[in-house]
Amino acid sequence: MRKQIIVANWKMNLSNIEAESLVDEILKATLSLKDNQQVVFAVPFPYLINIKNIIGNKNSFFVAAQNCASTKNGAYTGEVSSEMLDGIGIKYVIIGHSERRLYNHEDNKVLKQKVDLALESNIHPIFCCGESLGTRESNNQNTFVEHQLRESLFQLTTEQIKKVVIAYEPIWAIGTGKTATSEEAQEMHAHIRKVLSTQFGITTAESISILYGGSVKGSNAEEIFNNSDVDGGLIGGASLNATEFLTIIKSLK
Ligand code: PGA
């Protein structure tokens, strides 16, 4: 059975104290997660070890980094390598979030290097893809997303791609309050799975979790997650509020 995952993408938010109490509140809530369901907190680098320790060996909860370097090591001031993340026991890393593509000029080629290095360090990349409003309005979203997948993921072996989680995040829906409709999400997720199946085969494509991201909140999560090709969500704003985030987790099918 495919994994269903809810990722909290805190971005550059919360103080250390706020972060601790948010995670505490979520951990002490009664959640009956199924064996194939996971919750991942993608936290700023300085909080990784602390949040990981707070979670301890609680099943189904993990910590992720929000980024990693595109080079293995060396004179790259301010960068953090996947090997370092692996060294402190981190299992997931977000790669290619649209904010990094935009503000840090990360292109498909650089993201390919990051994906390769993360996998080399046994870390699951949470690979983000998604089109801008202009691309959607000109109805080029399918080719655009296919291109992102091809350029950053098609070098992988079947064994490697199985370790990747995909997050479809239409840029026009991120932090805008505007969500893709349930139909738009399902349609793109099915397309992504089809693209993956052309390169890696149907069985492999069927095993890959594809998350939806972009203004998911307590009130719309269930409808989005109910689609057959949507395997959870990447949650920004709504992950900063315990009540809201718990409702989202409980909306998993
Ligand atoms: P949002 O962000 O939920 O605030 O729209 C999603 C994301 O950027 O991952």
Could you tell me the domains of the chain?
Answer: 4-249 (3.20.20.70)
- Provide the pLDDT for residue 25: 98
Structure tokens at 82: 């996947």
pLDDT greater than 90 at residue 228: yes
pLDDT (average), residues 217-235: 97
Residue 175 CA, ligand 1 centroid: distance in Å: 5
Residue 250 CA, ligand 1 centroid: distance in Å: 18
Q: pLDDT confidence of 134, banded at 50, 70, 90?
A: very high
- Provide the pLDDT for residue 177: 82
Residue with CA nearest ligand 1 atom 1? 236
pLDDT greater than 90 at residue 56: yes
In the residue annotation, 97 being an active-site residue is answered as: yes
Helix or strand holding residue 6 (H, E): strand 4-9
- The model's pTM is 0.97
- The rounded mean pLDDT for the chain is 97
- Provide the pLDDT for residue 99: 97
- Provide the pLDDT for residue 127: 98
pLDDT greater than 90 at residue 61: yes
Residue 133 CA, ligand 1 centroid: distance in Å: 15
* H helix intervals, 104-162: 108-120, 133-137, 141-153, 158-161
By C-alpha distance, which of 167, 79, 73, 90 is closest to 124? 90
pLDDT (average), residues 138-166: 98
Give the active site residue among 99, 106, 131, 169.
169
Task: Give the whole-angstrom CA distance, residue 143 versus residue 149.
Answer: 10
Q: pLDDT confidence of 176, banded at 50, 70, 90?
A: confident
pLDDT (average), residues 151-159: 98
Residue 13 is classified by DSSP as -
Q: Over 182-245, what HEC string results?
A: HHHHHHHHHHHHHHHHHHHCHHHHHHCCEEEECCCCCCCHHHHHCCCCCCEEEECHHHHCHHHH
In the residue annotation, 169 being an active-site residue is answered as: yes
Q: pLDDT confidence of 164, banded at 50, 70, 90?
A: very high
